[in-house]
Amino acid sequence: MKSFNYFNLSVPHPEGFSDASQVTLLGPVVKGFRTNVVIVHEAVKRGETAETYAATRLPAIQNAVGFLKVELQTAATFGALLGYWREHTLSLEQRLVTQFQFYCLSKGEMYTFTFSCDPSVAKETRAMAQAFLKGTTFR
């Protein structure tokens, strides 16, 4: 049986179950909003690219929020990571939030990195996100 590892914890991975774990990192609070990074992954069908995957996720984001303005969408490379970058601002619980998302594929799994912040620190958060991605590697 495969195992799932989380820090010093190792637990069995039951047959038929899929790993839906995510990484969440919490940053400073700015104007009442806690800057954060969330990394999720999911198996994708053969032939899926970061760009096509990102396109399929956009309608779900639009349906979940009251307002969404996409600022930038483009292919991007950060260090060894090749993928697709999106910048957008949305309304979430009566406030504006800026998000930077990076989608990349590794071994049949699509990884989505989402960096969320108050719009007043978007420039700094973008720089942090890009440095974070440049330092990220797959084993």
Label residue 15 by pLDDT band (50, 70, 90): confident
* pLDDT value at 139 more than 90: no
Give the Cα separation of 23 and 93 in Å (integer).
22
26, 64, 84, 108 from 111: Cα distances, Å: 19, 20, 11, 10
What would the pLDDT profile of 18-59 be if each residue is shown by its tens digit? 777 788 999 999 999 999 999 999 989 999 999 999 999 999
Q: Comparing C-alpha atoms, which of 24, 78, 83, 77 is closest to residue 53?
A: 83
pLDDT at residue 20, rounded to an integer: 77
C-alpha radius of gyration, the chain, whole number: 16
Q: Which residues of 9-33 are buried (b: 16+ CB within 10 A; e: fewer)?
A: eeeeeeeeeeeeeeeeeebeeeeeb
H or E element at residue 22: strand 22-30
Domains of the chain: 19-134 (3.40.1000.10)
Alpha carbon 76 to its chain centroid, in Å, reads 14
What would the pLDDT profile of 66-118 be if each residue is shown by its tens digit? 899 999 999 999 999 999 999 999 998 889 999 999 999 999 999 999 999 99
Instruction: Check if the beta carbon of residue 105 is closer than 8 Å to that of residue 50.
Output: yes
Residue with the bigger pLDDT between 1 and 106: it is 106
Give the Cα separation of 71 and 56 in Å (integer).
17
* pLDDT value at 1 more than 70: no
